[in-house]
Amino acid sequence: MSLTLTYFGHSAFRLESGENTVLIDPFITGNPSATVSADEVNAETIILTHAHNDHVGDTLEIAKRNNATVIATAELAGWIGSQGVENAIGANHGGTVRFAGGSTKFVPAWHTSSYTTPDGAVAPGVPAGHVVRFGGKTIYFAGDTCLFLDMQLIADEGLDVAVLPIGDHFTMGIDDAARAAGILKATTVIPCHYNTFPPIEQDPAAFRQAVESSTDSTVVIMEPGVSTSL
Ligand code: NI
Ligand code: MN
């Protein structure tokens, strides 16, 4: 089985197995790091970590154009469905949802979750991380979160890859993300949620140094628009 991961900048990723395609937090429009436009991005499954606009991003447009299934925490999925997406699956922490080619298990994330519409803010649900099993690999997308000790339980999932925010300010910064990597024990660690906006400017090479000097994990720094084989 082959698996290709593409980074669109911020926390937006695409997983391609050859047969199936999954997007995670497809924030393309308004993402200063993105090298593609939302109308070039297609998938049959979209997984969301939480409702913030920099994660929901272009979900509604991409889902409607592709008749895609959107997987999110219950209240966020309900709101997505109310916006005209036909296949929105709501679940919650501890639950596993199957989709075309794989599954995702909802795990906790310490953060908030609201969506700002032109009319104001709505607050659909709570944030989550996702343990995605797809293309023969197990990949943890932490979403936006601080460091938390229950990552020990997520490590028990047997992670090939951990995708961790390092931007600080809204999430873990480099030091805590390196501690998270030490707990998670993934073969590969990929940083995200940095250098998109001024408050989250970070040096990913410093993160690599911190992780690789203290764990057995290898850090892969992905440039926006670039793909890597997992
Ligand atoms: Ni957020
Ligand atoms: Mn965010």
3-state class (DSSP) for residue 180 = helix
Specify whether the CB–CB gap between 68 and 20 falls below 8 A: no
Which tokens sit at 31? 């993402």
In order of their start, the domains of the chain are 4-216 (3.60.15.10)
Which tokens sit at 216? 């057995």
Confidence (pTM): 0.97
Residues in CB range of 15: below 8 A, 6 or more apart = 3, 4, 5, 21, 22, 23, 24, 132, 134, 135, 139
What residues pack around ion ligand 1 (CB closer than 5 A)? 52, 144
The pairing of beta strand 4-7 with beta strand 13-16: antiparallel
Ligand nearest to the CA of 51: 1
Write out the H or E segment, with its range, that includes residue 208: helix 204-212
Cα of 1 to ligand 2 centre, how many Å? 31
Cα of 76 to ligand 2 centre, how many Å? 15
Tens-of-pLDDT digits for all 230 residues of the chain? 789 999 999 999 999 999 999 999 999 999 999 999 999 999 999 999 999 999 999 999 999 999 999 999 999 999 999 999 999 999 999 999 999 999 999 999 999 999 999 888 888 989 999 999 999 999 999 999 999 999 999 999 999 999 999 999 999 999 999 999 999 999 999 999 999 999 999 999 999 999 999 999 999 999 999 999 99
Ligand nearest to the CA of 192: 2
